[in-house]
Chains A and B, each alone.
Chain A
Amino acid sequence: MNEETRTRREIEAAAPSLSGMWKMLSPRWRVIAVASLAICLFAASNLARPIVIQQAIDDGLIGGDGSAIVVASILFLALAFAGYVFQALSTYTVTWVGQQFLRDLRMRLFTHYQRLSMSFFDRESSGKLVARMTADMNALTDVLNNGFLMVVQALFLLLGTVVILFVLSWQLALISLIVLPPLVVATAIFRVYSAQAYEAVRDRISDVLVHMQETFAGMRVVQAYAREGHNVERFGAVNELNYEANLRTVRISSMYIPFIEWLGGVGVGLILYFGGRGVFGAEVSVGTVAAFIFYLNFIFQPIQQLSQVYDMLQSGTAALNKIFGLLAIEPELKEPRAAPPLARPVRGELKFDGVSFAYTPETVVLHSVGVTIEPGQRVALVGPTGAGKSTMAKLMMRFYDPTEGSVSLDGRDLRGVATAELRRTVIMVPQEGFLFSGTIAENILFGRPDATTEELIAACQALGVHDLIESLPSGYDTMVSYRGSRLSAGEKQLVSVARAFLADPPVLILDEATSSLDPGTESLVEAAIRRVLAGRTSVVIAHRLSTAEQAERVLVVDDGRIIEDGTHEELVTRDGYYAALHRKWMERSQPFEVASEAPD
């Protein structure tokens, strides 16, 4: 009962997604109609065959009429070929519609992802978003490729059979349909238990795979701590549990299947006995008895199929709801209706005017920040983790809109600037060098796709990274990817800086890497960063003393407020937060002092 109401609720909840799905399918309604018709005609050609045989038996064999056999044979042949044609037609058209729909849906969802604001990606786990595009789409593929076909065919066969049986002999139909209720009940019970059992199998096999994956990936640690023996024992247990879960599914189906087969035999027995006795009069001929026996198959198969499809439809509907649920989310940042272009050339004056910001209403991250960054100024943001430095950077990029106040560029509120133009004007280099899969050249060209190879190389030479790239196995054509790539952290950073340099934006925001880079590239990276910051407005979230020292202006951010503002020299003497931080920095680099002073 509980399950029933839950199912009904799910179906009601699915209404908007179903209408969304239909909107995408409706332009292809003609093909859908052809497919449905083909499925029905295929089923009909199957349904008609036993009648043809019945005619052949009654008129031909028993009636001794040779021409009836010839007619039946020709009809049978025609039905077989019609079945062939309609089956081929339905197989192709159903897949065509399904795959077209899936391709469109994939593109629509992915395009939607590109439209959504950064806040959305900060909130949602990436695993979930990937699953919408993969696992959920696959669940839909099942429904579209097989589910639709199976449902239409099974329902048509089932209803058609019942109608035909009643037309042939309503009394014998009633008798033989005695097997129907136990069949339906047994199948329903089986479905519940086997669904549970298969869910357990999925859990257990995932335990097995996770355990394997971890051991294989962490093999060095395993052996370093001599844990092999214990692991083998533990895995043995997990492996065995998976076996037992599988065995349970076997036990369940081993109870269901014999019952169904026995029920089929009972059906044949019933038809033989009651049909053969002739109690229902002359209308039940030998041919009719034979036809009933053949038709029995058309009752058993569809019911078993429908129970299979039921699970498929459930997960398909769930997937559809999740996908359309995502599609219904609107981007939080609205594109301005009319956005006149920024005055050229962009001077790069960034102004925070009474800006407050909160990710959630309870936690305010910025408290009415007011600051103006002059055109061409090199600014370092300094402060403890969580002070609001990155939030300020995100507001400058308009990844978020301020909760109160405004951020403006050259006097224009960012909310009134077209996103595409803003993105060309203000570019951010993230903390870790992120690489897209492709060549190094492609990764750098990401910043300005229309740049020529000469421009690309010139930019890299100007940055001092050309030699390093050339020294890689395939130079600029070295393949990299966002997962395993052979580049070191420093090399990735260099590619990332080169990308921004090629894009040449009037305003650059740089989130400095916190971790240290390998000694070989550290100095290269620092030189490249100096070069890329030169001659434009720049804001660096600084984690290093040297970076802060080089800035023209240091803003110390703490607890969502700017607490100190000045040059490095000014702030060091002011005896505030920055001066204290500077002292700590100097202490920490004590060994460095030894290193650089001792040789003198």
Chain B
Amino acid sequence: MTEEQLDLRAGAGLIAREIRRQARPLSLALLCALIWTIARLAIPVLTGEAIDRAIDVPGGPKLDLLLALALAVAAMAAVQGGAAAFRRYFAMSTSYRVETDLRGELYNRVNRLSFDYYDRTATGQLMSRGSTDLHEIQLLVVLIPINTAFLMMAVGAFFLLLRVHVALAVLAIGIYPLVTALTFRFYNKLFPATARVQQGLGDLTSVVEENIAGARLVRSFGREQHEIERLGRVADQIYDDNMEVARLRTAYTPLFFLLPALGQLVILAYGGWLVLEEQISVGEFVAFFQLLNMLVWPVQGLGEMVASAQRSVTSAARLWNVLREEPTIRQASHARSLPEGNGEVRFEDVWFSYEPDRPVLRDLSMRVPAGTAVALVGPTGCGKSTVAQLVPRFYDVDAGSIQIDGVDIRELKLQELRRSIGLVFEDTFLFSDTIGNNIAYGRLNASDEEIREAARLAQATEFIERLPEGYDTVVGEQGYSLSGGQRQRLAIARAVLTQPRVLILDDATSSVDARMEEEIRGALRQVMKGRTTIIISHRLATIALADQVVLLDEGRVLDMGTHTELMLSNERYREVLGQLAVTPR
């Protein structure tokens, strides 16, 4: 897979846009952060005052002042707590808002894109945009107000110290920027290392999944030891990667505790000496100790945020690559509705290619008269499945035109066009929903009777009613698993329910066994009655359902006629079908 081109500037722009959109709650969060900082700084200052003016005074403690200061500390703590709560609330809710909005935008965008995009994009890739990358951005948004508060606190503490003693302030705080820089470095190194661990865990999952799925084979060939060795290699790799993470942690984390302690040592030694010199008071000494203690966390947080910002800009750039995509198939500006008609489909001099200079259809012309069935037959790669994809405008032709009831499909309203075509694909995709809802996928307002009627036409009633919960049985990835033939019949029911003007069956009987094919053929015969149908199949019995057969080769129509006519007259047709014949006796 080729490395994705990332526009980091666009990524940063996307984050900036989201922050501007959330300017109000974010500035409220910043305001709370400011209040929090003031209250938090006040506590050590008040503590220091209490020591200097009420406790450590000649003639014993001044009780009134002491009580007032103690109450003031508790009051400031209450303010600090309240501000922290609001800051957290605004910051977190904003970040989730950003995440939710961007996810919605991503989802909407992907829904609007055209087939050529899905052809070159893996689902897993889109999923990681919608989960990991968004999470990365969410994390940054949370960190912004929190770290702004920390930064304000650090600056405030520095000025409080400066006011009392410049040299002490510079010496004590001087070490903290180093902590920030180290944290940044640490996270930058940690991230790829943990990513490797995750990668290893992913490898382990596939080995285990494969081993369990192939358990019979492993036993059949007595390859248990080999499998154990295979897992051993992955497990060792995970161990090594984890130990690499451990080495990084061992090298850095203790430093994050040692360096601030050295700052405290400065206060203890140098500050202590200053107290003896009577340049600062005992209260101030205690207050600074407390202040410095409070800074340990924030300076680490800053480093973490810079590292996080870097990652989330990359994530945002990846997200932007999806958001900026434009659909290639667009509705014409003055699109018209479908004309009256029974679904005559006409291909006129159609050229089409997925990749430039490799035409799949070359000057293809054919006509499917309304209400009749045409089977497309040809060797693998002749372009017959492409034909099916062009009628609903999943792709646009390069040259020539496709018409339904005399109108070029590019002039039609896109959704209306697609609703008028019923498609049954080779592999039936079922959504994790009830059978009823899967059948009603193309027509949401269908009544229960209509759904049942569609199922009846598709000859699916019998097996559906045998299921534990009938039409309410949940199927799909998370639900009850159905056989290939059952799925196929649901797809047929789904197509029939929309009462399509044109029905397209793309290899609808290929993934089922011969007995099942017979049942599906029965279903097809029912639903094809009087409806324009395009059948793509390499099964003779299915081909036999069509009124006409079109023989395709290398993107052109080679011949046309009934099955019997072609059998008798066309050598190539016999050749293509010959591969299907049962083994020679």
Contacts and interface: CB of A to CB of B under 8 A. Distances in A.
B514 A276 contact: no
B212 A289 contact: no
B473 to A, nearest CB: 17
Given A66-B273, A83-B254, A240-B100, A216 B127 contact: yes
Interface in B530-585: 538-541, 543-544, 563-564, 567-568, 574, 576-583
B583 A214 contact: no
Nearest to A587: B518
A91 to B, nearest CB: 5
Interface string A453-485: 000000000000000000000000000011100
Contacts of A200: none
A422 B262 CA distance: 70
B86 interface: yes
Contacts of B66: 272-273, 276-277
Contacts of A212: 103, 107, 126-127, 130
B392 interface: yes
B534 to A, nearest CB: 14
A555 to B, nearest CB: 20
Interface residues of A, number: 152
Interface string B219-249: 1111111111001100110110011011101
Contacts of B100: 239-240, 242-243
B513 A515 contact: yes
Contacts of B77: 261-266, 268-269
Interface in B264-288: 264-265, 268-269, 272-273, 275-276, 282, 285-286
Contacts of A209: 127, 130-131
Contacts of A545: 582
Contacts of B289: 53, 290, 294
B111 A130 contact: no
Given A103-B239, A266-B74, A518-B380, A251 B89 contact: yes
Nearest to B55: A276
B306 interface: no
Contacts of A232: 107-108, 111
A53 B265 CA distance: 10
B268 A286 contact: no
Nearest to B443: A225
Given A92-B250, A269-B73, A482 B55 contact: no
Interface in A212-255: 212-232, 235-236, 239-240, 242-243, 246-247, 250-251, 253-255
Given A126-B209, A225-B441, A227-B441, A73 B96 contact: no
B50 to A, nearest CB: 5
B123 A213 contact: yes
B204 A95 contact: no
A402 B418 CA distance: 56
A contact face: mostly helix, strand, loop, or mixed: helix
Name the residue in B100, B225, B245 with the highest tally of chain A Cβ atoms < 10 Å from its Cβ: B100
Interface string A39-74: 000000000010011001100111010100110110
Interface stretch (B56-64, B157-165, B180-188, B458-466): B56-64
B82 A258 contact: yes
Contacts of A594: 540, 563-564, 567
A128 to B, nearest CB: 10
Contact of B513 (A247, A260, A499, A514): A514
B258 interface: yes
Nearest to A111: B228
Contacts of A111: 228
A220 B115 contact: yes
A261 B215 contact: no
Contacts of B392: 223-224
B111 A138 contact: no
Name the residue in B103, B130, B208, B228 with the highest tally of chain A Cβ atoms < 10 Å from its Cβ: B208
Given A289-B55, A297-B293, A72 B209 contact: no
A499 to B, nearest CB: 7
Please provide the 8 A-B residue pairs with the shortest distance between their CB atoms, ordered closest to farther.
A265-B77, A258-B81, A423-B222, A95-B246, A261-B81, A514-B513, A225-B442, A519-B579
27 contacts: A60-B272, A60-B276, A80-B262, A88-B251, A88-B253, A103-B235, A107-B228, A110-B228, A118-B216, A212-B103, A214-B476, A216-B110, A222-B111, A224-B418, A230-B444, A265-B78, A290-B289, A419-B222, A423-B221, A424-B222, A428-B216, A482-B214, A503-B221, A514-B513, A544-B582, A546-B583, A598-B567
Given A61-B276, A482-B210, 20 more contacts: A69-B273, A88-B254, A92-B246, A95-B246, A107-B231, A110-B208, A129-B208, A216-B110, A226-B418, A232-B108, A232-B111, A257-B85, A258-B85, A268-B43, A268-B73, A269-B74, A272-B70, A436-B214, A595-B567, A596-B582
